[in-house]
Amino acid sequence: MASVYCSSCSPWGSFPVLRYHNAPTATEYDLLNVFVATFASTILTFFIGALLFDYQLERTEARRGDQLRTLLVAELDGISEGLDRANAAKVRVSDGSAAEVMIAHLQPTLIDEALRDGLFCPVWTEKALRLARNTRTYNAKISYFLSNLSFGRSHEPGSTELRIHAIDEIEVTRQRIVADARKLSGFG
């Protein structure tokens, strides 16, 4: 093996350039060895990349779960505060009487998201499902009550009793929602 230093021929100026002339066959790199080394390094690179991706995915999911928990507690507190009796409206149910009713439209958006993501254990899942169902029931009762009021059926027989019954049903559902929201806000 002969090594020749040629600074005038080198594209890098004064760096030595090694040239092999008539190198014996035993010292040449075997093409198969190069292929195996390249293949092994490629597989190792993919394996490390997959591990890193899995780690980043776990971290992202954990961060998303923490954010969802925080937002869910805020939504539950908002439901409890929004359905407070201090926010009730007086509604005329007949010519001479009025009653208080809590009129609100609830959207359990984050509760539904938490249920889809499997954020809760089975016990808390049942409580969250009940809360979501009660909020939808509450919205339906409010819609029915408001439509009954908007048609102006105050002079029809039994309309006063119907409205009072609707208000009582709304109040029972409101109390369930507030109690469930307060329980569920401590799921952490």
pLDDT-based confidence at residue 86 (cuts at 50, 70, 90): confident
85 touches 101 (CB < 8 A): no
Residue 158 Ramachandran class (φ > 0 left, ψ -120 to 50 alpha, else beta): left
In this prediction, residue 53 carries a pLDDT of: 96
pLDDT of residue 34: 81
pLDDT of amino acid 174: 92
Residues whose CB is less than 8 angstroms from the CB of residue 103 and which lie 6 or more positions away in sequence, other chains included: 89, 142, 145, 146
What span, in angstroms and rounded, lies between the C-alpha atoms of 146 and 161? 15
Q: Are 87 and 178 in contact (CB under 8 A)?
A: no
Q: What is the pLDDT of residue 141?
A: 92
Q: What is the pLDDT of residue 8?
A: 54
Provide the pLDDT confidence category of residue 161 given band limits of 50, 70 and 90.
confident
For residue 154, the model assigns a pLDDT of 55
Tell whether the model's pLDDT for residue 171 goes beyond 80.
Answer: yes
pLDDT of residue 155: 60
* Domain regions of the chain by residue span: 65-184
Q: Whole-model pTM?
A: 0.67
According to the model, what pLDDT value does residue 41 have?
95
The two three-digit tokens of residue 179, written as one number: 């109690």
